[in-house]
Amino acid sequence: MNTILNFCQNKDQAKLVCPNFCGLCDLVDGNWADWSIWSGCDVTCGSGTQSRDRTCTNPAPEHGGLDCIGSNTETKACIMIPCPIHGGWSLWSPWGSCSVTCDVGIQRRDRSCSNPYPALNGDHCFGESRDDRICQETACANGGWSSWETWSSCGVTCGGGLITRQRYCNNPPPSLLGNDCRGKGEEYTLCNTHTCTNHVAFSTQLSARYTTEASVIVFDVIKLNEGQAYNPHTGIFTAPFKGMYTFAVYILEDNPRTVSDWADFYLHKNDDHEPIGAVDISFSDNSIALFLHGSITVVENLNRGDRIFVTCIAKGKFVHGGPFSKFSGYLIAEN
């Protein structure tokens, strides 16, 4: 039968009919052992999977026996508690309209935590649900000039002065993006340019050298005294008119001195404590100084009767004066 039908090739038939002839007496087919216990669920929330396995060892196949038939693994679904759903942002909405129709405003856009909505103790979306930006429109208004104010009063009655007038960029004022007014906000023009009829001027010198301390210096040589406002006996100029005056003092010291000597010359108005001008003459080293000089020039508004004079405060015996030391002044303009 084996020669004709190859009977031993079919081990399932041969081991039942002729195991000895076919050499199958020691053959052992494999058989499954018991299943293992189910594993834990592979997730902590939601739907997952459990598994178990078995081995082909009850008995294990030997001497050409058949292996176990079927799968050595088995799975089944497992359902845990529902999982949290964490929130997700939706897309941004389109930008809204500008909050103003001119100048600078604000636009906004929004998004919501709805993609998905948070649920089951899930986290809310992180970040802002609103976005703002500046929107710039056209200017609300450009600046416009107000009317000119009236001219200011002239500060002098003759000899020429200046008057001014103003206008302001407030009709309307420029808005945030508006242009400022073009042009000037102030104008100037001359006033009372006719020649003054009153002439006051003087020019004096010292006649000799002498020592003075904290006293009025009397410039006693008169070169010019128009209006007779300067008194050569007292050294005091008295303003005969209210107006603007200019004064100049020049002191020349040509006597050799040492570093220990100095003198301060002051130009005074009335008996005011603070002088209106000052010059210092001192010696910078121990060498002989042949010439030292200083000058004062001031412009002062005076009322009628105001007095102007020169004083000196010296350390030691400071000799000054001579024909090159001068005091002069004149009326610039009445007011």
pLDDT at 290: 47
pLDDT at 282: 58
Q: What is the pLDDT of residues 297-309, one digit of tens each?
A: 899 999 999 999 9
pLDDT > 60? residue 213: no
**pLDDT grade, residue 286 (50/70/90)?**
very low
Q: What is the pLDDT of residues 251-266, one digit of tens each?
A: 876 554 554 566 778 8
pLDDT at 285: 46
Distance (Å, whole) CA 230 – CA 203: 9
pLDDT > 90? residue 243: no
Higher per-residue confidence, 196 vs 48:
48
Q: Which of 3-7, 210-214, 267-271 has the highest mean pLDDT?
A: 267-271
pLDDT > 50? residue 331: yes
pLDDT > 60? residue 284: no
Q: Do domains 2-79 and 201-334 have the same CATH topology?
A: no
- Identify the CATH number of the domain defined by range 201-334: 2.60.120.40
Other beta carbons within 10 Å of 143: 18
Distance (Å, whole) CA 324 – CA 207: 9
- As a whole number, mean pLDDT of residues 30-37 equals 93
Architecture of domain 2-79: Single Sheet (2.20)
Q: Identify the CA nearest to 333 among candidates 204, 152, 188, 154.
A: 154
> Would you kindly state where each structural domain of the chain is located, as residue ranges?
2-79, 201-334
- As a whole number, mean pLDDT of residues 274-294 equals 61
- Worst-scoring range by mean pLDDT, 82-91, 205-214, 286-295? 286-295
Q: Identify the CA nearest to 49 among candidates 25, 75, 12.
A: 75
pLDDT > 90? residue 24: no
- As a whole number, mean pLDDT of residues 190-196 equals 80
Mean pLDDT rounded to a whole number for the chain: 84
pLDDT at 292: 63
Q: What is the pLDDT of residues 65-122, one digit of tens each?
A: 888 999 999 999 999 989 999 999 999 999 999 999 999 999 999 999 999 999 988 9
Higher per-residue confidence, 198 vs 4:
198
What are the E-state strand segments in 160-291? 161-166, 186-191, 201-205, 209-211, 215-216, 221-226, 230-231, 236-238, 243-253, 262-269, 277-282
Higher per-residue confidence, 283 vs 147:
147
Distance (Å, whole) CA 130 – CA 92: 9
Q: What is the pLDDT of residues 123-175, one digit of tens each?
A: 999 999 999 999 988 899 999 999 999 999 887 777 778 899 999 999 999 99
